[in-house]
Amino acid sequence: KTVVHAHDEQNVCKVGDKVEIMETRPLSKMKRWRIVRVLEQATVVGA
């Protein structure tokens, strides 16, 4: 499990989602990755 800063253009990801990412040109100071697709959505417990 690794935490990286990735660009989510459509704003579809939530904290805890498992996603596929690909390396891209620098988009900001920390973002060097782009989200390709969501593999598994995080489960909501309690709330």
Angle at 41 between CA 32 and CA 24, to 5 degrees: 15
In a domain, 45, yes or no: no
Q: Which pLDDT does position 47 carry in this prediction?
A: 61
List the chain pLDDT tens, one digit each, 47 residues: 788 999 999 999 998 899 999 999 999 999 999 999 999 999 887 76
For residue 34, give its domain range. 6-40
Euclidean distance between CA atoms 32 and 43, whole angstroms: 27
DSSP assignment letter at 28:
S
In a domain, 19, yes or no: yes
In a domain, 16, yes or no: yes
Residue whose C-alpha is closest to residue 24's, from 12, 36, 35, 32 = 32
